[in-house]
Each structure stands twice: as structure tokens, then as C-alpha cells.
């Protein structure tokens, strides 16, 4: 069986089965511009009908025994394992992933299914004390219908990390993937769950434009919105959700810092820095966007990082053995280049890269920066490594926190010094003697400040908080006496 056979999904969306779409969009390979297929797009009216169906199907799904819900998630993990190569190929061609990144992402997705298979039987409440002779409980109940809006960069896992726990906990889901990666980030999820036995109507795949995104937020049946994407769009969703009194869990941008402490192994630090900045062309919210290096090491570190950048091949990952594939589209490619050229015009020095090669951008290192330059202040979402120096731990802490974002920080070198620094900085994640890009299905994930609303992904605690509501229940042996 071919899981992603286009005969199943071409020109269709998934809502109570595969339905013909009124509008379509070509699936385009960013490395070549070749057409890979045609996906169906939903309309706001389709979203309204899907939300109604989802609310109806959710009640039966929530009443399904926990073991049966767990079995669907486990079977989905098994199916994705069997079809891993197929999913990887789509990530390579549609999302521009190099093969190692695609394999890593599919592995995360498989782990997410298996991790979430444990959620239906996880303890979902507390026994409370009470001042009166009764039993008192706080129990977790499914939120109802959850909308998931996912981005293009890690399309499979960044959609699935909300879809899987929401389903496991008894919710129905409206999934809106980025239209640029609607197969690897949408069709793949719908197909694997369909084949795993998820009842029709519980999951709806609704690719579309901004109007569809607004519709999946505003549908009256939706109680929770889980969004991963840019900070400006996240702010707009938060405003809509607040007006509608809905919960919005937001995982947004990042401009993450890698701090290289005095005495650190420079060769290993440069390898960590290159991985953090150049994995998936820097198109990751956790990408190392700021290299903060002690003055005693900055010259040696910059030279080592630049040497690695110059040695990394770029090209079409479907046809060549490359380290960096294409930027997702021409608009983003030109934005990356403009940030680099604007920073050089402002006085930064180009130590490596800074070149457009076809649909790709070469791994880039910038030095001699000031903290007001665009390459330092902005989330670039490209393979660019800006380097700046620091003198003291106080200096390093100030530079790390002088940023609108607070998602991930890596600290390389002496562990005691790193622990001291970690206690002083404001960030959702800290990795000591590792770079900034990391994720595991059982670990809480989220940021602070402009990076989002905290850890609402990963692990039982975060998932229960994200996708259930708390209900207080009391029980007495007899009807209570009242003074009225």
C-alpha cells in the first residue's frame, strides 16, 4: 500500500471522508519549481460544516473506551514506521528538507504517536479534601473541538504534536496546515489516522488561506486553538481568541542565543553552532540566531564557524547529497538576503556566505555587529549566524535577555558557570553543552515573551493542560440539608 497515493487526495480535502474541493493549489517543489501534485483547498463554508460534524463526532469519540483510543494512536505510529521512507520523501521534495532532517522529523512524529497512546490511561484528576461530608474531585474532561494551525518548516511534527494529544484525550480536531506543505503536514496525518481506524468526522483536514485560518479560530464549536507560527499572526489569533473567550496556545518565533563561555572547546562549540544555525536552512523557531562568544575565544570561534559554513554544500536534497536545501519560497529567500545585505551596509562583516545559489542560501557568518543591526535584532529564518562578543557573565546575561523573544538558549562550557547564567535568563528552554535546537515528545516545549504562551506542547502535564478542561465534582451519600 502507498500511504500518500495522490489518487486518494488529489484536489480533495478531508472532512467526513475525502471531498472534492472547489479550489485547488499546486504542490510545488521549492528546489526546482516542479509540480508534485494538486491539493484541494477548503473554504470558510467548508470549515463551518466541518466544525459542526466535528462537534457531533467528538461526543462519541470521547465516550470511546481509553484502550480503544490508545490503540488507534499506537496503530498510527506503527503505520508511520512502515511508511517512514514515503513520508521522508515528501518532506524532502515538498518542504525542502535534507534527508537527515526528514528522517529526524518522521522519527519525532512516530514517537509522538506512541507517547500520546499513553495519554488516554494517564491519571486525569485529583481527589480533593472538603469541609463537608462528601467526596470532592477535580477531573479532566476533553475540551471539545480543537483547531490546529501548523507551519511549513517541520510540517509533520508541528501539526501532529497538537493533533495526536488532542485526539488521544477525546477531542475532535480541525487541522489547517500551511498550504505550501499541505501533503507532508496534512495529508500524511489524515491518511495515517484514517488507516489506523480513527472514526470519520473526528479529524478534518482543511488547507486554505487566511480566511480559512480565521474560520477555524472563530467557528463557535471550537474551544481551543493551538497555533505554531510567526509572532505577528500569533498576536492576531490571540486577539480573536480573547474576544471569543477561547483558549489559544501559541508557539511563536525565536531569536535564540548560543553562549560560548571562556575555556570552551572551540572546535566542538563551532560544530554545535553550525548545527544550530544551519539545520534545515535555519528555518526553525529554535534556530541559533545569535552567537554570544567570550572575547578570549571570539576570533578563533568565528574562524572555525566560517570554515564550517564554507564547507557545507547546498542544493536539491532530492537529487544531491547536500547539507542545506532550498529556502521555502522566493519571497523568504529574498528577505533573508536583504537582512544580510542591510546589516553589511550598516557595518557588519561577512565572514562566510551571503550568497543566493538558485533556490538556496549559502551558510552565512556575520561579525563586527552591533546589537541594533537587523541580523541581530530580527528572527531571520534563514542560515545566518551573527557573532558578537561578551566580557563577563553579567554582560552575557544582559545580551541574552536583550531580545523580544525567549524560546531556547544553549550554553557551552563550564557547567557551574552555565548553571549560574541559566538562573539569570528568561527563556522557555535551556540546553547546557548543547545547541538550541532540540525536541522530544515527552518534554515540555514552549517559550516566553514574544515566543509564545509557555509550554503547552510535549509531555502529559502540558498536553492535559492544553487539551482538557477541569471539572469539579462532588458526591454526598444523601441530599444535603439547606436552610431555605
Cβ 383 vs Cβ 280: under 8 Å: no
The residue from 251, 360, 379, 403 that is catalytic is 251
Cβ 47 vs Cβ 217: under 8 Å: no
Instruction: Give every CB contact of residue 324 below 8 A, 6+ residues apart in sequence.
Output: 98, 278, 281, 312, 313, 314, 315, 360, 361, 362, 363, 383
What does the CA dihedral 396, 399, 400, 404 come to, rounded to 10 degrees? 170
251 has catalytic annotation: yes
The residue from 116, 285, 360, 403 that is catalytic is 285
Using CA atoms, how far apart are residues 445 and 457, in angstroms rounded to an integer? 5
- Indicate the burial class of 271 (C-beta count within 10 angstroms; 0-12, 13-18, 19 or more): middle
Tally DSSP H helices, then E strands, for the chain.
16, 23
Angle between helix 210-218 and 231-243 (nearest 10): 40
How many C-beta atoms lie closer than 10 Å to residue 128's C-beta?
12
Instruction: Give every CB contact of residue 100 below 8 A, 6+ residues apart in sequence.
Output: none
285 has catalytic annotation: yes
For 294, the enclosing helix (H) or strand (E) is strand 288-294
Per-residue burial over 237-266, b = 16 or more CB atoms within 10 Å of its CB, e = otherwise: bbebbeeeebbbbbbbbbbbbbbbbbebeb
Three-state DSSP string of 89-138: HHHHHHHCCCHHHHHHHHHHHHHHHHHHCCHHHCCCEEEECCCCCCEEEE
| Residues belonging to the active site | 251, 285
Amino acid at each position: 500500500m502507498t500511504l500518500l497515493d495522490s489518487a486518494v487526495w488529489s484536489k480533495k480535502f478531508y472532512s467526513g471522508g475525502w471531498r472534492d474541493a472547489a479550489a485547488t493549489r499546486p504542490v510545488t517543489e521549492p528546489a526546482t519549481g516542479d509540480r508534485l501534485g494538486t491539493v484541494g483547498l477548503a473554504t470558510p463554508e467548508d470549515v463551518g460544516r466541518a466544525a459542526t460534524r466535528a462537534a457531533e463526532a467528538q461526543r462519541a469519540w470521547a465516550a470511546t473506551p481509553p484502550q480503544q483510543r490508545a490503540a488507534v494512536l499506537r496503530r498510527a505510529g506503527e503505520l508511520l514506521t512502515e511508511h517512514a521512507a514515503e513520508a521522508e520523501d515528501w518532506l524532502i521534495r515538498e518542504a525542502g528538507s535534507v534527508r537527515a532532517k526528514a528522517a529526524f522529523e518522521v522519527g519525532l512524529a512516530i514517537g509522538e504517536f506512541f507517547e500520546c497512546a499513553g495519554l488516554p490511561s494517564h491519571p486525569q484528576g485529583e481527589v480533593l479534601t472538603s469541609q463537608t461530608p462528601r467526596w470532592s474531585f477535580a477531573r479532566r474532561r476533553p475540551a471539545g473541538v480543537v483547531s490546529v494551525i501548523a507551519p511549513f518548516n517541520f510540517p509533520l511534527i508541528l501539526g501532529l504534536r497538537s493533533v495526536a494529544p488532542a485526539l488521544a484525550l477525546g477531542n475532535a480536531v480541525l487541522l489547517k496546515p500551511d498550504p505550501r506543505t499541505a501533503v507532508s503536514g496534512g495529508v500524511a496525518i489524515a491518511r495515517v489516522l484514517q488507516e489506523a481506524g480513527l472514526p470519520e468526522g473526528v479529524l478534518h483536514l482543511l488547507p486554505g488561506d487566511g480566511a480559512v485560518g480565521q474560520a477555524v479560530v472563530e467557528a463557535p464549536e471550537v474551544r481551543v486553538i493551538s497555533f505554531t507560527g510567526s509572532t505577528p499572526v500569533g498576536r492576531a489569533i490571540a486577539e480573536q481568541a480573547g474576544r471569543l473567550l477561547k483558549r489559544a496556545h501559541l508557539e511563536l518565533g525565536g531569536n535564540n542565543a548560543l553562549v560560548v563561555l571562556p575555556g570552551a572547546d572551540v572546535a566542538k562549540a563551532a560544530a554545535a553552532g553550525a548545527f544550530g544555525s544551519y539545520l534545515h536552512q535555519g528555518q526553525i523557531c529554535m534556530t541559533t540566531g545569535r552567537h554570544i562568544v567570550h572575547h578570549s575565544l571570539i576570533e578563533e570561534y568565528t574562524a572555525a564557524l566560517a570554515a564550517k559554513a564554507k564547507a557545507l554544500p547546498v542544493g536539491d536534497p532530492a537529487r544531491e547529497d547536500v547539507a542545506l536545501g532550498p529556502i521555502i519560497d522566493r519571497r523568504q529567500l529574498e528577505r533573508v538576503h536583504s537582512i544580510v545585505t542591510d546589516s553589511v551596509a550598516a557595518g557588519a562583516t561577512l565572514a562566510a556566505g551571503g550568497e543566493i545559489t538558485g533556490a538556496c542560501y549559502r551558510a552565512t557568518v556575520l561579525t563586527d555587529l552591533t546589537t541594533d543591526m537587523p541580523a541581530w535584532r530580527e528572527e531571520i529564518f534563514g542560515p545566518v549566524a551573527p557573532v558578537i562578543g561578551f566580557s563577563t557573565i553579567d554582560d552575557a546575561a544582559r545580551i541574552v535577555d536583550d531580545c523580544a523573544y525567549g524560546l531556547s538558549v544553549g550554553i557551552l562550557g563550564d557547567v557551574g558557570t552555565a548553571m549560574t547564567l541559566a538562573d539569570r535568563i528568561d527563556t522557555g528552554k535551556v540546553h547546557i553543552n548543547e545547541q538550541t535546537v532540540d525536541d522530544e515528545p515527552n518534554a515540555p516545549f514552549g517559550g516566553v515573551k514574544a515566543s509564545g504562551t509557555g509550554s503547552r506542547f510535549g509531555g502529559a502535564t502540558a498536553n492535559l493542560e492544553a487539551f482538557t478542561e477541569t471539572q469539579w465534582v462532588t458526591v454526598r451519600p444523601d441530599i444535603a440539608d439547606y436552610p431555605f
